[in-house]
Chain A
Amino acid sequence: MKEELSEDELLEKVTTTEYKYGFTTDIESDKIEKGLNEDVVRLISQKKNEPEWMLEYRLNAFKIWQEMEEPNWANIDYPKPNYQDIIYYAAPKAKNKLNSLNELDPELKKTFDKLGISLNEQKRLAGVAVDIVMDSVSVATSFKDKLGELGIIFCSISEAIQSHPELVKKYLGTVVPTRDNFFSALNSAVFSDGSFCYIPKGVKCPMELSTYFRINEAGTGQFERTLLIADEESYVSYLEGCTAPQRDENQLHAAVVELIAMDNAEIKYSTVQNWYPGDKEGRGGVYNFVTKRGICHKNSKISWTQVETGSAVTWKYPSCILKGDNSIGEFFSVAVTNNFQQADTGTKMVHLGKNSKSTIIAKGICAGKSNGSYRGLVQISKGAKNSRNFSQCDSLLMGDKCGSHTFPYIEVKNNSSQVEHEATTSKIGEDQLFYCNQRGIGTEEAIALIVNGYCKDVLNQLPMEFAVEAQKLLEISLEGSVG
């Protein structure tokens, strides 16, 4: 009961209908010229003072990318970005290297306060370690020392390239190869920063690790790269949040996330994605083209939880390769689209190991003139004997101008495995709203309540702090969508 009330108190703070993260920070930034060519790739690498092997990795990726074509198969329709019209590197100008968070640029600090991330507060109260990536670079990582005592490495990926090259070299690109797709190749060539995390053998990470992504500079793309390795018998819960200013033009976000769960390890990866979705007429907004994938070794588990409310266009399929015997993959997703937003999202569960299990719970909510699609692949290989999958894909429609689509792909190559798929489509009923109204609950609150109930299975997977944030977001994204 206590928990529920505190959620409610936080929920009540929500008063604004507009995208409230739409401000920009007036901060001097170091950015390079628009456009992409080999020199730009070299320049990025040079700015980050990278070793030769990293530069080569990038150049190779750039070569591959040039030969690839932007994919067309998703159920989304958008003008293709002009890749020569994007700035590939922008960083808030830091005067000196920071020793502590207190030395942050005051303007930057104000930004984080507006975003509701009070770094010191977080440090004291919530026990969440935060890494913050603004435009292209990581600007602050908290709790580093405390984590260091346990042997946990949590830092920006640029820093990891310098200080732990052996780990980065060993794992980078092993789960999402450069060639995987158009956007992963692009990311591999130009990624500017992101988070790196390594949990040593047998260590249960005692706090949530979190990265907050923010695109600030106009005309820039954000290409972050996250690499998370949970060594044998370890555990980690990782959160990421994203926002962007309100701009009339589209901004590009093409990230790659790789997770590696060694034998008996467990990774929980939660995302609350709230990139600017564009205005009510469909102008502006972030193009969110993301490749997220994890590999599970023996007896290990990877759990993806995502609440997607932002972005003009979303193309995203957090996936699990269940390589080890008895490994477990989970995907819990709520994807909301409103106004003119489009989302094509889902997951891939690739069963290779025996007795591997996967669960997919995907909840779509469509309002306005938006379009939401679930696309999922469950692939059970010949050797994955006795594997099981359960998939449930539900969609909730609000109004009669939106569309919801489900594209499940199932491939099973042995006869000892079981695959179950359930799907429902429903509408928020007038009778449900009237029932709530009659009990004194106003229509907006009633919608929030009904939507929260509908998403409960997914929201329950999120850590408490994030669950509240996610509920707030759902409420804001759907305000004014009925009636």
Chain B
Amino acid sequence: MLKIKNLKAGIEETKILKGIDLEINAGEIHAIMGPNGSGKSTLSSVIAGDENYEVESGSIMLNGEDLLEMDPDERAHKGVFLSFQYPVEIPGISVSNFMKAAINEKRKNLGQDPISAKELLHKMKEKMELLNMQKGYLSRNMNEGFSGGEKKRNEIFQMAMLEPKLSILDETDSGLDIDALKVVANGVNKLKSKENATIIITHYQRLLNYIVPDFVHVLHDGKIIKSGGKELALELEAKGYEWVIK
């Protein structure tokens, strides 16, 4: 599904990613771990198309299409979803209105009719249950006055609504207490299918107790220096990053 080849990128003069190769198939969950400053968040931003980052060379292909040729919104229409580490506030726009805009933009792009009010409401209620959302959530303004945990849950809610092919969860566990973490992990697990894939970017092993990855990659200084199965995460937890970096 996703093929990243020799990806080099950075901000202005600073090189951050120094040659990333990564291949992800449908139905897989990949965890990308690494110490602070290793380039984890840069990788997710570059896949999503954040224009603050410059791609120097390499390619990112999604189902045979070149993502680097597309604007961020086109990438979203193709099924890329990024759960932000720091979701922004959009004052005055309710969750339901925002969701409606996002879904309808995608539908328009695919040549489909806008979603009906009934269908939208039904779908939102279903996903709210999945994530244990409080009543009244839909009419709150996007991330305005949300706690850290609520913001992260709101990200996963959007992921559930938009049904992406490739989801990137950037430090979704940070700011979550253990109960919220379980709810979010449970949601992600239920959304998993043979057709979609997930990248989990995390600093700690904690989240991986609840969302079990098929592959674990260690990112250091802009390169993947070690890959393995789910045991690798436990080993890292026990021995620390120093063990792989040496």
Contact = CB atoms under 8 A, between A and B. Distances in A.
Interface string B107-118: 001000010110
A440 B106 contact: yes
Contacts of B71: 437, 442
Question: Which of B87, B92, B93 has its CB near the most chain A CB atoms (within 10 A)?
Answer: B92
B90 A431 contact: no
A437 B76 contact: yes
Interface string B183-203: 000000000000000000000
Contacts of A125: none
Interface string B149-162: 00000000010001
B76 A439 contact: yes
Given A1-B120, A8-B114, A440-B73, 4 more contacts: A4-B97, A434-B51, A434-B72, A453-B90
Question: Which of A2, A436, A456, A457 has its CB near the most chain B CB atoms (within 10 A)?
Answer: A436
Given A438-B82, A440-B77, A432 B117 contact: no
A436 B73 CA distance: 8
Contact of A440 (B50, B88, B117, B162): B162
A8 B104 contact: yes
B87 A435 contact: yes
B141 to A, nearest CB: 7
B102 A441 contact: yes
A364 to B, nearest CB: 15
Contacts of B141: 453
Q: 6 shortest A-B CB distances, which residue pairs? A: A453-B92, A440-B76, A437-B72, A453-B93, A456-B92, A439-B102
Interface of A: 1-2, 4-5, 8-9, 12, 429-432, 434-443, 445, 449-450, 452-457
Contacts of B117: 1-2, 4-5
A4 to B, nearest CB: 6
Contacts of A435: 84, 87-88, 90
B213 interface: no
A432 B73 contact: no
5 contacts: A8-B101, A9-B114, A434-B51, A439-B102, A457-B92
Contact of B102 (A440, A443, A454): A440
Chain A interface helix/strand/loop/mixed = helix
Contacts of A12: 114
Interface residues of B, number: 41
Contacts of B100: 4-5, 8
Contacts of B82: 438
Nearest to A435: B88
A50 to B, nearest CB: 48
B120 to A, nearest CB: 7
B29 interface: no
A5 B50 CA distance: 30
A257 to B, nearest CB: 29
B241 interface: no
A449 B105 CA distance: 12
B100 to A, nearest CB: 7
